[in-house]
Structure 1
């Protein structure tokens, strides 16, 4: 089967053909344009026979180095589940040949659970053949959305007890359809400072993202007697995958673990809106496991998948 390799710099090529794969929000041109950098290269793999685009890969150039992504949770390669592994390898090889002028290329792929088994095997084939030597493997956690209630998905009796406690104390969950962004950003910042975690977005960045992508950002809260005690910010990656971008809680309510009730509400939101995965994010930092965080996510019923990052030296 014949394919056409298409290279686009700074979005000079706008596809008119249909995509034969699931596209991820972080790799869409509109999001790439917000990540910064000096140049953006996007590579496409077009099936000449049916005129469908079978793969896409974007790289942002900054100071002689390539990044996929530069400022996002992941970048990497999207491709059709029916694309042969040999063809995927050829596509990656041609993309890399275009980038040989770079000093290096850093790629962070989406969690493996986003792909089916055939796609995962195809990527592993390419990774091995390309002999990537610098690899960081993070542990990601996702809850599979089923017809079961969130209470039934919980793997810990303690978590079930805390969820019942939240209900008994009349905690109130809601989607913030007209969010007070300043209040939410401040709440999240305070929570992350307490946990010694850096805030990844300024208030201006958050406001701009919501203005640019109103259909992708959602806000949720848990309150008690009119006081907000937990906040969640989610990003719609696809129509089937919802990613928890920020989760934050109030220090005064830690004994209730209001995050459990918050995730319960988001899980039910996923059920109503036909999502198949609720992505809770990684429990590692540059491959080093945070055991407490990993256990917390596992006890929520989340399953582990790998999220790989590579540093390619040209």
Structure 2
């Protein structure tokens, strides 16, 4: 077997990766989540001096957390990493955390379809090493290789046709429209009694730091916004529909179908292979209406699991 070494460092050290790291693992994004307390653990291919596995953890007292204020934080690795090395990397991380008095580790994974092979290995090895699942939600993803309409069931195809007849149209917006989009979605969520996880100020700060990673899309009836989305380009090949909603008064027009079509075509135009339609849960339980809707749009269910392990002294 090729030689690999395991390391602990502070985020920001310049290294070459054998994989594309996601936005939520960028050192600058980590610092926006929490200004201090981050540790970086990685596996190095000794001959090529490239990183083949990486995990960022925020240490706060006795708790090590991979995602402080982000949708996920996980072990990222090269597709060709030997399974044994990935397993040993997890052992290394736990050993280092024990030495500094950590008593609980939290690893919040993305939807499994983000990285099917390595994700399946990671989930299995976490179970093998005594981790338990403390949160399980259903994500929904759709690959963008085919025509959007081909993935819709007949009901959603009729809705899409109706939106055209009603002369709905969607437009991508500049970041100058962030406040309008945010408060539109916030109002829609308030009517459903669903909270937003980020404040406008937090979003403004993040988008200012990573302007090329965020896209705003609105659906309009004449000049009135009836649906909107804030999307994040997590990697070059994944677009995450982070926030999206529509005005309930326009339920009969089903503007969200056209909204998702706009995101889907944006993915195709920008060589993005996977559109993440987000999770479907309320208070830790499935939101079946939303989940069924996303699956009628051609979405595939993808488990999104959060793991924890309590370390005994």
Q: TM-score range by the shorter chain?
A: over 0.9
C-alpha distance in 2 between matches for 1:286 and 1:228: 28
User: Which position in structure 2 is the counterpart of 1:33?
Assistant: 31
C-alpha distance in 2 between matches for 1:122 and 1:163: 39
- Structure 1 portions without partners, runs of 5+: none
Is 2:72 aligned against 1:71? no
Is 2:284 aligned against 1:274? no
- Structure 2 portions without partners, runs of 5+: none
RMSD: 1.5
Q: Structure 1 runs of 4+ off > 3 angstroms?
A: none
Q: Deviations over 1:226-251 (max 9, x none)?
A: 11111010000111100000001112
**Structure 2 matches for 1:13-32, cutoff 5 A?**
14-16=13-15, 18-32=16-30
Note the C-alpha offset of 1:200: 1.2
Normalising by structure 2, report the TM-score.
Answer: 0.94
Note the C-alpha offset of 1:178: 4.3
Is 2:266 aligned against 1:265? no
User: Which position in structure 2 is the counterpart of 1:290?
Assistant: 287
The equivalent position to 2:196 in structure 1, one of 176, 199, 203, is 199
**Structure 2 matches for 1:54-203, cutoff 5 A?**
54-100=52-98, 101-117=101-117, 119-146=118-145, 148-155=146-153, 157-203=154-200
SS in structure 2 of the partner of residue 205 of structure 1: helix
C-alpha distance in 2 between matches for 1:197 and 1:220: 21
Normalising by structure 1, report the TM-score.
Answer: 0.94
Note the C-alpha offset of 1:306: 1.1
SS in structure 2 of the partner of residue 140 of structure 1: strand
C-alpha distance in 1 between matches for 2:247 and 2:260: 15
C-alpha distance in 2 between matches for 1:186 and 1:225: 20
